[in-house]
């Protein structure tokens, strides 16, 4: 990773943070409805891993905490915000919402709200890639709590059995909604849980984007070389509650402070400043630019976009005019 | 025309579609090396190999989800779930992923999977192997549900379902795999919507689907011969979406309705057909519609209790006779 890459990543992560925090405001203003799960604090995970992937080519799938993964894959932040605003111009035309961002053109295959739901979907996409003989891979991001679902075990078993090109990334933020991992999970280190399936795995600091990138590079190379699945556990922390309806009363201030001292954006910023590659003024200017872009372009687009039409309520339920429904159109 | 058993017709559809498109695969428990519990994939493992004829672990939700994921990228999986009772385990992926992904992605992504599964009470299989689950599947928006009553439909529906861009659930019946019937020699694609008038009649419409079509046909013969009642038999081979126009057309003709279903009556096919009639053509009715359904209880192992729980042709005859006071 060269200096330009690091500066770009800093800006991308800062953009992600400001985007998510602006979502928070819009939610409080009731511009965004439903459930809203924010990624603030976990930015180094998606950015470090996807930096090691082929952008727009490798397939990415994740949970309901999905805005930042979509944007990093290449989704237009304006369309993501418009989706949160439930507008027709949104990435899912206002039908999906925060938890269901999709951008198939950039191979972001969606956010799914059933915890653990994407595990087998990711393995299936990997099966398709393998059948076609392509060298793309699938990257599936899920949280630690998803590993207590049956789909985790069923999917890891099949992924290894058939050596499918899928990288499972566990963003371990230590909480399943409001329950701390040691109160829900017998084995705390998630990377150890996959050894029963003979899948190689590592655990890495999820707050340091350079370490994440390095670990992800190794993982991505392993999967792309045809050796089968890999499991990467990233230790991270979310600053906000599980969702906006979460009181966030289950965590101590000391714990929150400890993690905010290891903020992924600040860590990278300070490293660049110490190396003499960035000044505080540069960072301030970058932040202003990001805030302006979000306000003037992203929010403005979402605000001014039209709502979906009620007479198109049933559109997208089934395929339209599929000839095979009527016996091949005969 | 050639006479085939249902399993042979389904096997032929697999074989033709797999030859036609290298991205068509089939997967399920024991379908490969063992050839399938009902032989519906017999011999395909040797012909197409383990990459396309996949023996899965016993992980219904997992392999169904895997098939759905593969379908996102252009693969056309035919997933066999050995018994509908086990399909409950796959309901999360069918309901939350396959049926919803087109809608919640605003039309960007679709899950063109076919899930075939055997339902129905067979012979003393007990409560956990005798369920009729079509009522559950037909309540899921975004999922097509069809159910064949003969080998021709079983063959043609599977072929259309493989090519259709929607997820399709094919509800088969344990007792019907060895049923014989005529299947066209040439390729045939059966529609996934609509209904079929199996027997024309003027006095009463008997609606059936899957195995209950056969009870209706048998009952219609008895009613004609012994009671002079000419029943029309309508095969509701598509359960979702149901053929509203076809249902209404027959009611306008006969003005009397009996619906035969192997499942329990609660929130079932009969209930839905009655609702459609109420909404569309209530004043065409000369008598209150009647359901012939199973007893609302788990299916017993004991043969006498099992038989008493599941309706048959005699029950359809009795319902019509009561309606006509004969």
Quick check: B68 and A124 CB within 8 A? Answer: yes
DSSP annotation of A312 = G
φ/ψ bin of B64: left (φ > 0), alpha (ψ from -120 to 50), beta (otherwise): alpha
Name the residue of chain B whose CA is nearest to A158's CA. Answer: B57
Structural contact between residues B35 and B41, judged by C-beta atoms closer than 8 angstroms: yes
Assess whether pLDDT exceeds 60 at residue A330. no
3-state secondary structure of A1: coil
Per-domain residue ranges of chain A: 3-306
Q: Do B107 and A103 make contact, defined as CB atoms within 8 angstroms?
A: no
C-alpha closest to that of B310 among B325, B324, B318, B298:
B298
Could you tell me if A84 and A97 are in contact, meaning their C-beta atoms sit under 8 angstroms apart?
A: yes
pLDDT band at A245 (very low <50, low <70, confident <90, very high): confident
- Rounded to 10 deg, the angle between the B211-227 and B313-324 helix axes is 50
Closest CA to A239 of A65, A41, A64, A68: A41
What share of chain A has pLDDT > 70, as a percent? 99
Q: Which of residues 133-172 of A touch B (CB under 8 A)?
A: 150-151, 154-155, 157-158, 161
Residue B68: closest CA among A77, A118, A142: A118
**Cα gap A170→A176, rounded to integer Å:** 13
* Cβ contacts of A256 within 8 Å, gap of 6 or more: A239
Query: Has residue A232 got a pLDDT over 60?
Result: yes
pLDDT for res A328: 81
Within 13 A of A106's CA, how many CA atoms are on the CB side?
18
Instruction: Inform me whether the pLDDT recorded for A286 exceeds 80.
Output: yes
Mean predicted confidence (pLDDT) in A125-136 = 97
In this prediction, residue B256 carries a pLDDT of: 98
Question: Average pLDDT over chain B, rounded to whole?
Answer: 97
| CA distance linking residue B250 with residue B244, whole number of Å | 10
| Mean of all residue pLDDT scores within chain A | 96
Cβ of residue A322 closer than 8 Å to a chain B Cβ: yes
Which one of B8, B17, B29, B60 is the catalytic residue?
Answer: B60
Nearest Cα neighbor of A226 from A136, A152, A155 is A136
CB atoms under 10 Å from CB of A92, counted, come to 26
List the domain boundaries for chain B: 2-183, 196-324
**Whether the Cβ atoms of residue A40 and residue A239 lie closer than 8 Å to each other:** yes
In angstroms, the CA B258 to CA B311 distance is: 13
Residue A4 Cα, gap to closest chain B Cα (Å): 34
The separation between CA B116 and the C-alpha centre of its own chain, rounded to angstroms, equals 9
Q: pLDDT at position B36, please?
A: 95
> Which tokens go with B208?
């059936």
B62–chain A Cβ distance below 8 A for any pair: yes
What distance in Å separates the CA atoms of residue B208 and residue B26, rounded to the nearest whole number? 29
Tell me whether B205 touches chain A (CB under 8 Å): no
Residue from B62, B99, B159 to probe the interface with A (highest A Cβ count within 10 Å):
B62
Q: Would you say A146 and B51 are in contact if contact means Cβ atoms under 8 Å apart?
A: no
- pLDDT average per 10 residues of sequence, chain B (326 residues): 97 98 98 96 98 98 98 98 96 98 98 97 93 96 98 98 98 97 97 98 98 98 98 98 98 98 97 98 98 97 97 98 96
Give me the residue from A96, A151, A316 closest to B65, CB to CB. Answer: A151
The answer to whether A110 faces chain B, any CB pair under 8 Å, is yes
Query: What does the DSSP 8-state code read for residue A224?
Result: I
Q: How confident is the model at residue A190 (pLDDT cuts 50, 70, 90)?
A: very high
Distance CA A92, CA A266 (A): 33
Asked if the model's pLDDT at residue A154 lies above 80, the reply is yes
Contact criterion met (CB < 8 Å) for B69 and A327: no
CATH number of the structural domain B196-324? 3.40.50.920
Q: Which of B32, B105, B153, B241 to mutate to test the interface with A (most CBs of A within 10 A)?
A: B105
Question: How many whole angstroms separate alpha carbon A68 and alpha carbon A225?
Answer: 27
**Residue pLDDT, tens place only, B168-186:** 999 999 999 999 999 999 9
Rounded CA-CA distance B295/B310 in Å is 7
Please list every residue in chain A whose beta carbon sits closer than 8 Å to the beta carbon of residue B193.
Answer: 325-326
Report the pLDDT averaged over residues A65-81. Answer: 98
pLDDT value, residue B10: 98
CA distance B9 to A326: 20
What chain B residue is nearest to A87 in terms of C-alpha separation? B106
Question: What fold characterizes domain B2-183?
Answer: Rossmann fold (3.40.50)
3-state secondary structure chain B: CEEEEHHHHHHHHHHHHHHHCCCEEEEECCCCCCCCCCCCCCCHHHHHCCCCEEECCCCHHHHHHHHHHHHHCCCEEEEEECCHHHHHHHHHHHHHHHCCHHHHCCCCCCCCCEEEEEECCCCCCCHHHCCCCHHHHCCCCCCEEECCCCHHHHHHHHHHHHHCCCCEEEEEEHHHCCCEEEECCCCCCCCCCCCEEEECCCCEEEEECCHHHHHHHHHHHHHHHHHCCCEEEEECCEEECCCHHHHHHHHHHHCCEEEECCCCCCCCHHHHHHHHHHHHHHHHCCCCCEEECCCCCCCCCCHHHHHHHCCCHHHHHHHHHHHHCC
**ipTM of predicted complex:** 0.97
Per-residue pLDDT tens digits for A83-109: 999 999 999 999 999 999 999 999 999
Instruction: Convert the pLDDT of each residue in B106-128 to its tens digit.
Output: 999 999 999 999 999 999 999 99
What per-residue confidence (pLDDT) applies to B219? 98
Under an 8 A CB cutoff, do A96 and B105 touch? yes
Q: Which fold has domain A3-306?
A: Rossmann fold (3.40.50)
Q: Is B192 on the interface with A (CB under 8 A)?
A: yes
Cβ <8 Å between B57 and A150: no
Q: CB–CB of A124 and B69 under 8 A?
A: yes
- Which residues does chain A have within 8 Å of residue B194's beta carbon, measured at their own beta carbons? 326
Average pLDDT over residues A149-163: 98
Note whether B131 and B119 are within 8 A (CB).
yes
**Domains B2-183 and B196-324 fall in the same CATH topology:** yes
Catalytic residue among B14, B129, B173, B214: B129
> How many other CB atoms are found less than 10 A from the CB of residue B115?
28
CB pairs under 8 A between A and B: 180
Neighboring chain B residues of A102 at a CB cutoff of 8 Å: 104-106, 108-109
B60 catalytic per annotation: yes
Q: Is B57 on the interface with A (CB under 8 A)?
A: yes
CA distances from B78 to A188, B21, B25, B65, B255 (A): 38, 13, 6, 12, 40
CA B200 → CA A27, A85, B205, B218, B251, distances in Å?
61, 55, 9, 14, 12
A151 contacts on B by Cβ (under 8 Å): 61-62, 65, 92
Q: Does the beta-carbon distance from A325 to B160 stay under 8 Å? A: yes
Measure CB to CB from residue A317 to each of B52, B142, B193 and give the nearest one.
B142
Instruction: Decide if B104 touches A, using CB distance below 8 A.
Output: yes
Flag whether residue A178 sits within 8 Å of chain B, measured between CB atoms: no
Establish whether B129 is a catalytic residue. yes
Which positions ≥6 away from A212 have C-beta within 8 Å? A44, A45, A47, A48, A49, A204, A205, A206, A234
Please tell me if residue A326 touches chain B, with a CB cutoff of 8 Å: yes
pLDDT of residue A269 exceeding 90, the answer is yes
Find where tokens 């009527």 sit: A326
Does B166 contact chain A (CB < 8 Å)?
yes
For position A329, what pLDDT does the model report?
57
pLDDT of A246 strictly over 90: no
**Cα distance from A7 to chain B (closest Cα, Å)?**
33
Q: Do the chains contact at A155 and B66, CB–CB below 8 Å? A: yes
Which of chain B's residues have a Cβ under 8 Å away from the Cβ of A124? 65-72, 75
């Amino acid at each position: 990773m060269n200096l330009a890459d690091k500066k770009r990543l800093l800006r991308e992560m800062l953009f992600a943070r400001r985007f998510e925090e602006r979502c928070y405001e819009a939610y409080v203003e009731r511009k965004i409805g439903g459930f809203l799960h924010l990624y603030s604090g976990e930015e180094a995970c998606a950015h470090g891993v996807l930096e090691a992937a082929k952008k727009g080519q490798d397939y990415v799938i994740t949970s309901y905490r999905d805005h930042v993964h979509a944007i990093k894959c290449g989704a237009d932040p304006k369309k993501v915000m418009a989706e949160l605003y439930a507008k027709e111009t949104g990435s899912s035309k206002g039908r999906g919402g925060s938890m269901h961002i999709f951008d198939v053109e950039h191979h972001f295959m969606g956010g799914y709200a059933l915890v653990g739901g994407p595990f087998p979907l990711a393995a299936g996409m990997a099966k398709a890639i393998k059948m076609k003989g392509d060298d793309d891979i699938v990257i599936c991001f899920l949280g630690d709590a998803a590993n207590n679902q049956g789909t985790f075990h069923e999917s890891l078993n099949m992924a290894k059995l058939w050596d499918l090109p899928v990288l499972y990334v566990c963003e371990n933020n230590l909480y399943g909604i409001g329950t701390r991992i040691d109160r829900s999970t017998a084995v705390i280190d998630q990377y150890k849980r996959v050894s029963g399936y003979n899948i190689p795995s590592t655990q890495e600091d999820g707050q340091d984007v350079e370490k994440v990138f390095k670990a992800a590079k190794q993982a991505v190379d392993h999967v792309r070389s045809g050796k089968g699945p890999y499991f990467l556990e990233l230790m991270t922390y979310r600053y906000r509650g599980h969702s906006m309806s979460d009181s966030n009363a289950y965590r101590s201030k000391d714990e929150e402070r400890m993690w905010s001292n290891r903020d992924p954006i600040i860590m990278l910023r300070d490293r660049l400043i110490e190396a003499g590659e960035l000044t505080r003024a540069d960072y301030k200017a970058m932040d202003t630019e990001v805030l302006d872009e979000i306000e003037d372009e992203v929010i403005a687009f979402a605000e001014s976009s039209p709502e979906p039409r009620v007479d198109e309520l049933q559109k997208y339920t089934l395929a339209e005019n599929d000839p095979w429904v009527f016996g091949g159109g005969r | 025309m050639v006479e085939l058993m249902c399993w042979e017709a389904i096997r032929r559809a697999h074989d033709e579609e797999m030859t036609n498109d290298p991205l068509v695969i089939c997967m399920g428990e024991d379908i490969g090396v063992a050839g399938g519990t009902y032989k519906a994939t017999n011999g395909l493992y040797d012909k197409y190999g383990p990459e396309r004829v996949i023996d899965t672990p016993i992980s219904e939700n997992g392999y169904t989800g895997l098939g759905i994921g593969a379908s996102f990228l252009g693969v056309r999986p035919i997933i066999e779930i050995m018994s509908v009772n086990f399909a409950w385990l796959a309901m999360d992926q069918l309901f939350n992923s396959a049926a919803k992904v087109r809608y919640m992605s605003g039309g960007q992504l679709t899950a063109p999977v076919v899930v075939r599964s055997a339902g129905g009470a067979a012979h003393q299989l007990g409560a956990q192997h005798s369920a009729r689950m079509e009522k559950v599947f037909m309540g899921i928006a975004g999922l097509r549900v069809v159910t064949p009553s003969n080998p021709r439909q079983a063959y043609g529906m599977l072929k259309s379902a493989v090519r259709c861009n929607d997820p399709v659930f094919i509800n088969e019946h344990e007792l019907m795999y060895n049923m014989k019937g005529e299947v066209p020699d040439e390729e045939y694609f059966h529609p996934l919507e609509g209904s079929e008038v199996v027997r024309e009649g003027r006095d009463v419409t008997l609606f059936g689907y899957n195995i209950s079509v056969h009870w209706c046909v048998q009952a219609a013969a008895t009613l004609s011969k012994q009671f002079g009642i000419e029943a029309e038999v309508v095969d509701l081979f598509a359960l979702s979406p149901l053929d509203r126009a076809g249902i209404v057309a027959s009611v306008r003709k006969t003005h009397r309705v009996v619906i035969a279903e192997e499942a329990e009556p609660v929130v079932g096919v009969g209930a839905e057909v009655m609702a459609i009639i109420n909404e569309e053509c209530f004043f065409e009715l000369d008598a209150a519609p009647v359901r012939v359904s199973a007893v609302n209880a788990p299916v017993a192992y004991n043969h006498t209790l099992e038989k008493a729980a599941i309706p048959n042709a005699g029950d359809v005859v009795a319902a019509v006779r009561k309606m006509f006071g004969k």
